[in-house]
Amino acid sequence: MQLNMSKARFKTGKVDLELNYLIKITVSIMFALAMIMVIVSGVNINSPIIFTRYILLFSYFIPISTKVNLDLAKL
């Protein structure tokens, strides 16, 4: 009974861990690029709107379809 008291580990594969890591890096780069583009274009009262537009523009960098395909293949 004592052996079953420990928490169960999450069963994630190396591919999932690597893909999650790469997506985190890509999102970080996307936010940095959007911030750089806002600074280059000039900071003013409309900067949050412009930042949001750049985030939407750069959101195509994130390979979400790869993650969905990987999960469907496991299913």
- Look at residue 11 and tell me if it is in a domain: no
- Look at residue 30 and tell me if it is in a domain: yes
**Number of domains the chain is built from:** 1
Q: For residue range 28-60, what is the model confidence (pLDDT) as tens digits?
A: 999 999 999 999 988 899 999 999 999 988 888
- Look at residue 9 and tell me if it is in a domain: no
- Residue 72, burial from CB neighbour count under 10 angstroms (0-12, 13-18, 19+): exposed
Number of H helices, E strands in the chain: 3, 0
Which of 3, 21, 4 has the alpha carbon at shortest distance from 12? 21
**Rounded Cα–Cα distance for residues 21 and 12 (Å):** 13
Confidence of residue 17 (pLDDT cuts 50, 70, 90): confident
Greater model confidence, 48 or 72:
48
Q: Which two tokens stand for residue 58?
A: 């750069």
- Look at residue 4 and tell me if it is in a domain: no
DSSP string across 49-71: HHHHHHHHHHGGGS-HHHHHHHH
Domain extent at residue 52: 19-74
pTM, to two decimals: 0.71
